[in-house]
Amino acid sequence: MEEVTKKEKNTGMAIVAYILFFIPLLTDAKNDPFVKYHVKQGLSLFLVAVAIRIIAYIPIFGWALVWPLNILLFVLFIIGVMHALNGEQKPLPVIGKFGEKFKF
């Protein structure tokens, strides 16, 4: 019974990692490799979001790209949360390989 509770907690923290990637690092879940993996994926998703915000300031070109990129970002977010819910450690499409390079 205790094993299930721990698994649920870690799954919850893995999901939180996609919303605010640094929150799991402030708890004792930071020692769980499953949560760390999703924190790294969440960090890469955050960095892409920042890049999209920068691109949005480019006249015409940036304005045209910002909506499709935001939709892509949302889809990647959903994929990441689904992987966390299913207990999988799969990288996000396109950007996931960058998340695996973070060391902490």
Cα dihedral: 48, 52, 55, 59 (round 10): 170
DSSP code of residue 87? T
Tens digit of each residue's pLDDT (9 = 90 or more) over 44-97: 999 999 999 999 999 998 989 999 999 999 999 999 999 999 999 999 999 999
pLDDT at 9: 59
pLDDT at 7: 55
84 touches 40 (CB < 8 A): no
Name the residue among 38, 41, 44 with its Cα closest to residue 10.
Answer: 38
17 touches 38 (CB < 8 A): yes
pLDDT at 104: 80
